[in-house]
Structure 1
Amino acid sequence: MSANLTAPPSAAALRAAAAEATLRPRDLAASLGVSEAQLLAAQSDGGDVTPIAAHPDALVAELSSLGEMMALTRNESIVSEVHGTYDGYASGGHACLVLGAGIDLRLFPKHWCHAFAVEAETAQGVRRSFQVFDAAGDAVHKAYLPLDADPAGWQALRDRLALTEPSDTLEVAPRAPAEGAIVAPEKAAALRKGWDDLGDTHQFLALTRKLRINRLGAYRIAGAPYARALAPEALSEALHRVAGTGVSTMIFVGNPGCIQIHSGPIGPIRPMGPWLNVLDPGFDMHLRGDHVAEVWAVSKPTRRGPALSLEAFDADGRLIAQIFGHRAAERDETGPWAELLDALPDRAVEGA
């Protein structure tokens, strides 16, 4: 018997669905069995969606001219929204940087495959954004213009970056499967030796690649004092304690194409169903607490002293978020952050 294959919706069908939708675009695309980028591409013949050049050198390098914007980066389990400026752009073959006022990004150009300038009608007015997607059509990063901003600069940039031969259909690649933990207990001694020799946190992934393991696999085999397994609820507890004590942290939220960093204290955590929300001036964060399956307290040596992080993973081994104590020239929160980590509950051992 032949397989019963369902053809994807046509561009016309996607446009009709988008015109009548009450769901958010990401949720609508999922309900229709397409990617968010494909849903946008289908709307590119009406003037509200314009396919544009996707490389950060073309797009992000120009965003500082638009003044304050909202930067949004997400993965399946968490959304980070930061207000600021896209200043301090630095290009790079493997990674690009944005070090603006409030907006702190690490960009990985090979995942910047599709991009659109989007004008969307809302109850408050027209919301203008640039939205970037990976090869599978999943969101990498979005940059929103404030509703009350003069749109002239945004429109001019859109027109400069517009593709000369746009299409209302988009071919996407299959989503990469979750890697899961790569565990090699026989490499534990070599891992600990290499870990002791680290001089910078950025050297850690090179160490795991050399040993042919990955981040989560390393944490599972290293043991204390390198990595300590915490209860899944430790992430929520840590956020509540950070909010309650005023400890300043650096919250890293990312996907393969972009890492967004928020530095500073956070306000109260506002639970709503499975979501844990931060709704601060200039910073919103929305975390699916029910996605958290593993949490680790990790210590990596650096030339400035230990870098202490809280790292959360989902049930498939995907990294959800990392939190570090905020260390800056004018303020060092590593002491209070270390005390907060020490007080978090360990993961229960089966059979104990």
Structure 2
Amino acid sequence: MAITVEKTAGALRHAMADNTDKRPRDLADMLGVREADLVAARVGRGATRIGADPHALMPRLRDLGEVMALTRNDSAVHEKIGVYDNYRPGDHAAMVLTKDIDLRLFPRHWVHAFAVELESDRGTRRSLQVFDAAGDAVHKVILRDGSDVDAWRALVADLATGDSADTLDLAPRQPPEPPKSDIDKREALLREWDRMTDTHQFLRLTSKLKMNRLGAYRIAGAPYVRPLRPDAMDLALETLAGRGVGAMVFVGNRGCIQIHTGPIHTVKRVGPWQNIMDPGFNLHLRSDHIAELWAVEKPTKRGPALSLEGFDSRGALILQVFGLRTDELDERPAFAEIVDDLPEADAAEVVS
């Protein structure tokens, strides 16, 4: 619940000092501001504005050594430990491709960035934080005990913009696109679906037909998609962990998608959050936010790719879980067995 507060930088700093137990995203929502407003209020007091261009930032991150990469949306937080490397730039989309840190970046949404250095009871916490035009977090890099602090300082010095303003001019939030479908184009959708040779072709296909991902799922029907009970995602994660079946877990926002590839070991619920708590990988998921869950199968050159895809009540994609794919094979029978056993949505839960 939002409270009324004077939204000057000084007032925000006081609010942060009085609410050290709250996560920045939650505090921003409570105060009726954006998370980037809170970071900007610290400029000159532990925060430094740096350039947000990933083409300048990403190649420098390898020098930091082992860090945490964090990408989130309203309902899921994805955290990976590793070293940034193998950056592949692109004007529309860029990538970081390593075994541990696997990212898809969309540079036009990288608008505001800060280097943040804060003291706490557990020592100095250093991070790099990137936000979109509306002030919502796109991606964060959090230094660990073994990270190279000298490299961090050099990065900050080189990328600092010199802007000392402690407030931001933010754009309005853009709401998620609602589901778009056209039942009259269903045959065309399925005909093109059958011709796919790579999962990345799907969004181009739906765009050509003036649909989107969820809209297409709602009209496709079997055997292309199967609607599942929304709470089946919890069961899927627990079963993956229990059987030791590897998976690919995707969480993203407009500016970044972060991927875990590998096994899942420890699944634990804490309050409303379903959590994966593994060495090197944490997922924090508000699984109660999943309003629609779909099992989706798409053809590829390496066999069918099966995924679980959860959407919130607005139609926004929360996360995707695929079977653990290889360079030779997209089809994973052990993952398919788990998905096949998940409970289907009741007829009243299926949106058409």
Contact residue 127 and residue 147 of structure 1 kept, 8 A: no
SS at match of 2:315: coil
Give the TM-score normalised by structure 1: 0.95
1:33 maps to: 32
2:317 maps to: 319
AA matched with 1:115: A
Q: Using the alignment, how far apart are the partners of 1:350 and 1:76 within structure 2?
A: 26
Give the TM-score normalised by structure 2: 0.95
1:136 maps to: 134
Q: Using the alignment, how far apart are the partners of 2:98 and 2:71 within structure 1?
A: 15
CA RMSD of aligned residues (A): 1.7
SS at match of 2:56: coil
1:79 maps to: 77
Are 2:223 and 1:257 equivalent residues in the alignment? no
Identify the match of residue 227 of structure 2 among 225, 229, 233: 229
1:21 maps to: 19
Q: In the comparison of the two structures, how many residue pairs are matched?
A: 346
2:43 maps to: 44
Q: Using the alignment, how far apart are the partners of 1:7 and 1:18 within structure 2?
A: 12
SS at match of 2:200: helix
SS at match of 1:15: helix
Contact residue 128 and residue 147 of structure 1 kept, 8 A: no
SS at match of 2:117: strand
Q: CA deviation at 1:101?
A: 3.5
AA matched with 1:346: E
Q: Using the alignment, how far apart are the partners of 1:351 and 1:338 within structure 2?
A: 23
1:246 maps to: 244
Runs of 4+ in structure 1 off by over 3 angstroms are 329-333
AA matched with 1:306: P
Contact residue 74 and residue 80 of structure 1 kept, 8 A: yes
2:200 maps to: 202
Contact residue 247 and residue 333 of structure 1 kept, 8 A: no
Contact residue 86 and residue 101 of structure 1 kept, 8 A: no
Q: Using the alignment, how far apart are the partners of 2:198 and 2:330 within structure 1?
A: 17
Q: Using the alignment, how far apart are the partners of 1:335 and 1:308 within structure 2?
A: 10
**In the TM superposition, what are the counterparts of 1:1-352 in structure 2 within 5 Å?**
9-22=7-20, 23-46=22-45, 48-329=46-327, 334-350=332-348
SS at match of 1:327: coil
Q: Using the alignment, how far apart are the partners of 2:237 and 2:163 within structure 1?
A: 47
Q: CA deviation at 1:20?
A: 2.9
Q: Using the alignment, how far apart are the partners of 2:120 and 2:348 within structure 1?
A: 51
Q: Using the alignment, how far apart are the partners of 2:330 and 2:91 within structure 1?
A: 32
Q: Using the alignment, how far apart are the partners of 2:139 and 2:273 within structure 1?
A: 21
Aligned-pair identity in percent equals 56
Runs of 5+ in structure 2 lacking a partner? none
Instruction: Tell me the alpha carbon deviations over residues 183-238 of structure 1, each in whole angstroms, 9 at most, x when there is no partner.
Output: 21111111001101111111100010000010000000010111111111111110
Q: CA deviation at 1:329?
A: 4.8
